[in-house]
Amino acid sequence: MASAPATRAAGSSPRRARRWPSRLGLGLGLTGLLAAGFGLLLLPGGCGDGDDAGKQSQVPTVRAIPNFAKISNVEEKKRRFFDFMTPLIEAENRKLRAKRTRLLELRAQYAQEAYLAPEEAAWLRSLGRQYGIDDFALHRPQSWTHLCARVDIVPLPLALVQAANESGWGTGRLARLSLGMYGEWCYQEGCGIAPLRRDADAKHLVEAFESVNASVRSYMHNLNTNHAYEMFRLLRQRMREEGEPLDSYQLATGLVKYSQRREEYVRELRLMLRVNRKYWDDHEPGAERGGPVLADARG
């Protein structure tokens, strides 16, 4: 069962409300394809976010989740789930890498010349606002440090196991209804779906998305901006500064506030990283690590 992540800590402002998309109208007016065996609705070119990075990161827009529950073989179900999520995660990470590359290039240029063209400075200020740094200033080293810590990828292994955990391997009722693979909460009327088992005084909803792609994008932005995940960003930044691969096993410790289960949740993620490592071992060798392999780990 998906956990209830603490995506909004006290005092944080709620994100813009999204209306729950009508499940009856998903196919109206759409020229999509039905993926064989899954009944998966795909729309070409729906991942662009308006910047140049979107052009190189386009994958089909996914507006339905395959019926993973019908796959009885556990190994096959895991493989299908990871194959489903991997291109969506990689597409959003490519966008983040493109933004980060430009950010680092401009930082190096400013350090050398103490000057940037007005359009470059404007791009940086806009990027700062996107990532919750409204007072970004070229002359303040702290601004650069904070922005570089936020504009970065989420390693594939970590994003995969969190999606599996939060969505019940794509079979959870709320995940399938909301298209939200990461159990994010929202609080504005109409922004999502009320959990069946919710405390009487609880007001949160499980946020609904127009596509699974949007869910992945929101999850990454949440980790990169929410103050609850400051430790995650500090750990990632330290790995960058030391020239180390991003280690999902270590980064998971920075997600203790993602779930009300706290340390138990982190232990569960790290166990999933260990026992499922074979599914991503060959992916970008040396770039991302999923954690150590235990001799007695069970699949």
Q: In a 10 Å sphere around its CB, with 0-12 CB exposed, 13-18 middle and 19+ buried, how is residue 274 labelled?
A: middle
Kindly report the pTM of this predicted structure. 0.79
Please name which of 77, 235, 79, 81 lies closest in space to residue 154, comparing C-alpha atoms: 235
Under 8 Å between Cβ of 261 and 244 = no
What residues contact residue 233 under an 8 Å CB cut-off, 6+ apart? Answer: 149, 150, 152, 223, 224, 254
Q: Give the pLDDT of residue 55.
A: 45
Which residues are registered as beta bridge partners of 25? Answer: none
What residues contact residue 298 under an 8 Å CB cut-off, 6+ apart? Answer: 275
b/e burial code for range 41-77 (CB count within 10 A of at least 16 → b): bbbeebbbeeeebbeebebbbbbbbbebeebeeeeeb
Per-residue pLDDT reduced to its tens digit, 185-228: 888 888 888 877 777 777 788 899 999 999 999 999 999 999 99
C-alpha distances in Å from residue 11, one per residue of 56, 141, 184: 37, 27, 17
At position 66, the amino acid (one-letter code) is: P
Q: Give the pLDDT of residue 20.
A: 35
Q: Give the pLDDT of residue 195.
A: 79
Residues in the chain predicted with pLDDT less than 50, given as ranges, are 1-56, 284-287, 293-299
Which residues are registered as beta bridge partners of 5? Answer: 259
Q: Give the pLDDT of residue 169.
A: 97
Residue 123 main-chain phi, psi, to 5 deg:
-65, -40
* Cβ atoms < 10 Å from Cβ of 142: 11
Q: Taking the CA atoms of the chain, what radius of gyration do you get in angstroms? A: 19
Q: Give the pLDDT of residue 203.
A: 76
Under 8 Å between Cβ of 211 and 205 = no
Write out the DSSP string of 94-120: HHHHHHHHHHHHHHHHHHHHS---HHH
Q: Give the pLDDT of residue 168.
A: 96
From the centroid of its chain, how far is CA 96? 11
